[in-house]
Amino acid sequence: MARHPAPPFYRSIRPGKSQQLVSGNSFSAGSAASGSVVIGVGNAAALDTVDVNATAVGGPAVTFTFVVGAPANSLEVEIGGDPDASATNLAAQIVNPLNGLDSYVSAALGATGEALVTSLQAGLIGNGITLQATGATLTPVAATALTGGVEGPASAALVTSGANTSVPPLVYTNGIGERTLYKQRLFKTGAPKLTLE
């Protein structure tokens, strides 16, 4: 059996031995994926579009269109006085609850002319969200996936019923992609314990 580094929330990991959960530490859900739509020098123009496709995480695919003047609906984005203003307006529409994306991504002004989009679900799954833009100064021009989504130890809440406490099975992934399964243990008193599978 390959040896795995101990997750930070365990005192030690020994094959076949019960291990006690260290109190005060928490489980990490990993890192969230992110990506950007960038509006370059010259600003956005009327009828330029931005597609945000969140179907990979169960969300909608939404197309936004830049317009001159006040938007008529949540799918229109007002062209601002400069790229930063236009990117800010785009980010605001991406998280507009009327579009249904706000449960799946966040959006905010990043660098100059950049609308930074981040998956609200950590892990690899967020890398499936894509961004695409049309227009002379907008990028990316091809559907481009968010990046940076990384798996961490699976989150698990302690479950208490009367005098019994248990934790669901956990999968811990180390820095080189090796995965270790810890079996659920049910016990009467004391801290939760898991055993190495």
3-state secondary structure 6-59: CCCCECCCCCCCEEEECCCCCCCCCECCEEEEEECCCCCCCCCEEEEECHHHCC
Q: Give this prediction's pTM.
A: 0.67
| Under 8 Å between Cβ of 33 and 126 | yes
pLDDT tens track for 47-90: 999 999 999 999 999 999 999 999 999 999 999 999 999 999 99
Q: Which amino acid is at 50?
A: V
A 10 A CB-CB count for 50 gives 25
> What integer pLDDT is reported at residue 151 of this predicted model?
85
For range 132-138, the mean pLDDT:
97
For range 124-150, the mean pLDDT:
96
More confident residue, 153 or 69: 69
> What integer pLDDT is reported at residue 137 of this predicted model?
96
Residue 99 backbone phi and psi in degrees, to 5: -90, -15
For range 142-171, the mean pLDDT:
62
> What integer pLDDT is reported at residue 183 of this predicted model?
42
Q: Which residue, chain included where needed, has tokens 């950007």?
A: 36
Cα separation values, 122 from 29, 103, 109, 117, 128, Å: 6, 13, 20, 13, 12
Q: What's the N-to-C CA distance of the chain in angstroms?
A: 10
> What integer pLDDT is reported at residue 146 of this predicted model?
97
Find the angle CA(178)-CA(35)-CA(106) to the nearest 5 degrees: 100
> What integer pLDDT is reported at residue 104 of this predicted model?
97
pLDDT tens track for 18-46: 333 333 334 456 899 999 999 999 999 99
> 3-state class of 117 per DSSP?
strand
